[in-house]
Chain A
Amino acid sequence: MNASLVRPLVRAELRAEFRAGEVVMTTIPFAASGLLVAAIAIGADTPLLRRVGPGMLWTIVLLFGSFVTLRRTVSGEPTRQEVLTLLGVDPVIQWVARAASSTVLLLGVIAVLVPVTVVIYDPPLTGLAAQAVAAVLVAVGLGALGTLAADLTASTRSRTSLVPLIVTPLTLPLVLAAVQVQEGAVYAASPWPWLLLAALTDVTIVLAGLLAARPLQEGAV
């Protein structure tokens, strides 16, 4: 297993995505409009908007994050995966590269949606360092689980609804941790128990992905 292959594979995945522009041109604007529509539905109750803002942000990240892992440059090109397998690239390395590129893109999505949330919902901006760590943990977990779910549902009917159905319930600890870190910052509570929960969830998901990579690709080519 040649781990040095991960970096060029991630770079290739990201280059393909930047050329296609699916996440930037479609997913991010759609997610931002979701945040806006939710705020309109809640109404002009500023204290309420301030309170629900962080929860809305992470709900939108979770729901739209699945689409990042299902982007066309990954799921629409099974031949790329087949070529890599025929070239002898270990399925585990391929999975790590796909999960890492999804994580990078999810971090980009979060980086754009945070200012949008601040503008629309005006949440209290405290404990930013802990929230940044929580954001990274959410991106890692969501990227890894989304990639695993995308592999599980590869070439299936109704894939676009199956992936969120599998991903959404299993990533609840991540959303819970991210929201509680923000809420804890308001009341000066320690973020560590929640960050630990998110980190444990990430470790479990990544381990599951690493263990499942080979059996999932068995017979795929």
Chain B
Amino acid sequence: MTTSKRHLVIDVAAVSLVLAGFAGALLAPTDRLQGDLQRLMYVHVPSAWLAYLSFAVTLVASVAWLRTRRDRWDELAVSSVEVGVFFTALTLTTGSLWGKPVWGVWWTWDPRLVTTALLFLVYLGYLGLRRGIVDPDVRARRSAILGIIAFVQIPIVHMSVVWWRTLHQPPTVLKPGQPSMDPGMLGVLLLNVVAFTVTYAALVRRRVEIARAEAAVEDALLSDDSPLAGDAVTAPTHVEVLDV
């Protein structure tokens, strides 16, 4: 990919984010009960959606790596986890900021909050695992297995608000039947979801390029035949040893 094309993808993502941000701040109707505070939804919900999407992409890429052993699937899996961890952190942060004025606490025993926090920690573990393994093949294999196991949490996180009814509201969009939301709010929310998804695609694309560059450096280091420090010292010959 040329540098100008690379910049174009990032530029499109940035512009779409700015436009969606303006729509959330200015076009969306104000909530009758929560006022402007409710506008946090236009960041909170797309972030959560992106977290689901990122880890689903990792699941697919992990299965694909185990089947094909092609490096590109491993690069996609790790790139998607990194971006997904960022969006999960954003979900937790915006949720906490929203929770304080509405619920009166930054954090509470709520199944959605707890399962999302655990999701975040397990994928941090995924990244930690990758950092701890030097061999690229072993690293790809083990992280593919963890990438599949960790995905089990996604349905639990999504359904937690249905199975255990506590503070967090149940799904309003991703549920059977019509979304239970004002059409104006829903339109702006969907616009933000699209903008965040474009941003996700741009970030993952860029991260995959970095992963490829890292792999190339690793290969170069492993196959490097430049002299080692010890090569400067030559071992004494048999005759020299006898002379001493």
Which residues of A are at the interface with B, using a C-beta cutoff of 8 A?
A: 148, 152-153, 155-159, 161-162, 165-166, 168-170, 172, 204, 208, 212, 215-216, 218-219
Q: With A152-B146, A162-B129 as given contacts, are A219 and B121 in contact (CB-CB < 8 Å)?
A: no
Q: With A156-B133, A216-B141, A218-B141 as given contacts, are A165 and B114 in contact (CB-CB < 8 Å)?
A: no
Chain A residues near B114: list those with CB within 8 A: 172
Report if B171 contacts A (CB, 8 A): no
Report if B102 contacts A (CB, 8 A): no
**Closest CB-CB distance, A41 to chain B, in whole Å?**
20
Q: With A208-B149, A215-B141, A219-B137 as given contacts, are A156 and B132 in contact (CB-CB < 8 Å)?
A: yes
Q: Cβ of A165 and Cβ of B124 under 8 Å apart? A: yes
Q: How far is the CA of A169 from the CA of B145 in the complex (A)?
A: 17
Q: Cβ of A170 and Cβ of B128 under 8 Å apart? A: no
Which residues of B are at the interface with A, using a C-beta cutoff of 8 A?
A: 66, 114, 118-119, 121-122, 124-125, 128-129, 131-133, 137-138, 141-142, 144-146, 148-150, 152-153
Q: With A166-B146, A169-B122 as given contacts, are A204 and B132 in contact (CB-CB < 8 Å)?
A: no
Chain A residues near B131: list those with CB within 8 A: 157
Within 8 Å by CB of B128, from A158, A169, A172, lies A158
* 29 A-B pairs in the complex with CB atoms less than 8 angstroms apart: A148-B149, A152-B129, A152-B145, A156-B129, A157-B131, A162-B125, A162-B128, A165-B121, A165-B124, A165-B125, A166-B129, A168-B121, A169-B119, A169-B121, A170-B118, A170-B149, A170-B150, A170-B153, A172-B114, A172-B118, A204-B152, A208-B149, A208-B152, A212-B145, A215-B66, A215-B141, A216-B145, A219-B137, A219-B141
Highest count of chain B CB atoms <10 Å: which of A158, A161, A170, A215: A170
Q: How far is the CA of A161 from the CA of B121 in the complex (A)?
A: 13
For residue B150, which residue of chain A has the nearest CB? A170
For residue B118, which residue of chain A has the nearest CB? A169
Q: Cβ of A162 and Cβ of B132 under 8 Å apart? A: yes
For residue B117, which residue of chain A has the nearest CB? A169
Chain B residues near A155: list those with CB within 8 A: 133
* Interface SS of chain B: helix
Q: Cβ of A166 and Cβ of B141 under 8 Å apart? A: no
Q: How far is the CA of A161 from the CA of B128 in the complex (A)?
A: 10
For residue A208, which residue of chain B has the nearest CB? B149
Chain B residues near A204: list those with CB within 8 A: 152
Q: How far is the CA of A215 from the CA of B119 in the complex (A)?
A: 24
For residue A163, which residue of chain B has the nearest CB? B125
Q: How far is the CA of A162 from the CA of B132 in the complex (A)?
A: 9
Q: How far is the CA of A155 from the CA of B139 in the complex (A)?
A: 11
Q: How far is the CA of A158 from the CA of B150 in the complex (A)?
A: 20
For residue A166, which residue of chain B has the nearest CB? B125
Q: How far is the CA of A170 from the CA of B149 in the complex (A)?
A: 10
Chain A residues near B144: list those with CB within 8 A: 215
Q: With A156-B133, A162-B129, A218-B141 as given contacts, are A212 and B121 in contact (CB-CB < 8 Å)?
A: no
Chain B residues near A169: list those with CB within 8 A: 118-119, 121-122, 125
Chain B residues near A158: list those with CB within 8 A: 128, 132
Chain B residues near A156: list those with CB within 8 A: 129, 132-133
Chain B residues near A208: list those with CB within 8 A: 148-149, 152
Q: Cβ of A215 and Cβ of B145 under 8 Å apart? A: yes
Q: How far is the CA of A166 from the CA of B66 in the complex (A)?
A: 21
Chain B residues near A219: list those with CB within 8 A: 137-138, 141
**Closest CB-CB distance, A196 to chain B, in whole Å?**
13
Q: How far is the CA of A172 from the CA of B142 in the complex (A)?
A: 22
For residue B139, which residue of chain A has the nearest CB? A156
Going nearest first, the 9 A-B pairs with the smallest beta carbon separation are A156-B132, A169-B118, A165-B125, A166-B125, A169-B121, A157-B132, A212-B145, A169-B122, A152-B142
Q: Cβ of B129 and Cβ of A153 under 8 Å apart? A: yes
**Closest CB-CB distance, B65 to chain A, in whole Å?**
11
